[in-house]
């Protein structure tokens, strides 16, 4: 799909993969609405519109979608469900509140955002939904059980959704990165890139690769790992 002039919504844009994807889609000529609780610091662009939204709240998602339509005056062609968080530890070592926080963001919020954009995408017979999951959605890991559960849910949702909407010309891609050097989990990226981790820009490039595939092609899943491991 030619991205120039088209409209994308990206969730979780303050830093990391979300911000890197914003910058790359703007470079491709898109108009981008960034939804999140926090705007990207020191970032302005005439085709970027930050819309404050807590995707865990269904009513806020509806308002953000209406604000996006009003601000950009165009139908939405791309949704990147990137917002996510992880609370790690043994199952009997973290609270029910932390469990619900993960599902409310990683699963329920993703559902609210997807449901908001689908009617227009079906109507225009054109659209692409990118769900950023994780390799944690392919294999369980000790002390990541809650996070793995949310990412397994995202992968299953994506697999079912693409089969549901492909007759209307809507594409769905589940992107599953391994280790990425971001602020995820509260860790700060190092001064020099870690050769054993991917960079946010690498994941953004994979997202653009899936979006720019010919309309006759749907990349349904992308698994990504660092080339070298420690």
The CATH number for 202's domain is 3.40.50.720
Q: Is residue 50 in a domain?
A: yes
Q: Is 123 a member of any domain?
A: yes
Q: What is the number of structural domains in the chain? A: 1
Residue 186 domain-assigned?
yes
Please report where in the chains the tokens 């960079």 appear, as a residue: 199
Residues of the chain with pLDDT > 70, as a percent, come to: 95
**Other CB atoms within 10 A of residue 107 CB:** 18
Range of the domain at 82: 7-224
The angle at the Cα of 24, spanning 32 to 18, to the nearest 5 degrees, equals: 70
Supply angle C-alpha 174, 178, 184, rounded to 5.
Answer: 100
Q: What is the pLDDT of residues 178-200, one digit of tens each?
A: 989 865 554 554 455 677 789 99
- 112 located within any domain: yes
Is 229 part of a structural domain of the chain?
A: no
Is residue 230 very low, low, confident or very high in pLDDT (cuts 50, 70, 90)?
confident
Which of 65, 112, 147, 152 is an active site residue? 147
Q: How far apart are CA 137 and CA 147, in angstroms?
A: 9
> How much is the mean pLDDT over the chain?
93
- Residue 101: in which H helix or E strand, if any? helix 96-103
Query: Residue 1: inside a domain, yes or no?
Result: no
Q: Tell me, yes or no, if 147 is annotated catalytic.
A: yes
pLDDT per residue over 108-131, tens digit each?
999 999 999 999 999 999 999 999
Q: Are strands 127-132 and 78-81 parallel, antiparallel or unpaired?
A: parallel
Assigned domain for 100 exists: yes
Asked whether residue 37 carries a pLDDT value surpassing 90, the answer given is: yes
Largest CA distance in the chain: 49
């Amino acid at each position: 799909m030619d991205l120039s002039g088209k409209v994308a919504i990206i969730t979780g844009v303050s830093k990391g993969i979300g911000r890197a994807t914003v910058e790359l889609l703007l470079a491709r000529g898109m108009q981008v609405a960034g939804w999140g609780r926090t705007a990207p610091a020191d970032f302005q662009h005439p085709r970027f519109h930050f819309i404050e939204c807590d995707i865990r709240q269904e009513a806020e998602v509806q308002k953000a979608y209406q604000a996006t339509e009003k601000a950009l005056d165009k139908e939405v062609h791309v949704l990147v469900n990137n917002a996510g968080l992880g609370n790690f530890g043994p199952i009997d070592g973290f609270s029910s509140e932390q469990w619900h926080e993960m599902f409310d963001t990683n699963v329920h919020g993703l559902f609210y955002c997807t449901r908001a954009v689908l009617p227009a995408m079906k109507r225009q017979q054109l659209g692409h939904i990118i769900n950023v999951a994780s390799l944690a959605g392919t294999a369980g890991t000790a002390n990541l059980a809650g996070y793995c559960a949310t990412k397994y849910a995202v992968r299953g949702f994506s697999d079912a959704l693409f089969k549901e909407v492909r007759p209307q010309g809507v594409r769905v891609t589940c992107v599953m990165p391994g280790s990425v050097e971001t602020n995820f989990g509260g860790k700060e990226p190092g001064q020099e890139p870690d050769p054993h981790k991917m960079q946010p820009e690498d994941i953004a490039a994979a997202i653009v690769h899936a979006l720019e595939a010919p309309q006759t092609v749907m990349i349904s899943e992308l698994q990504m790992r660092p080339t070298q491991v420690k």
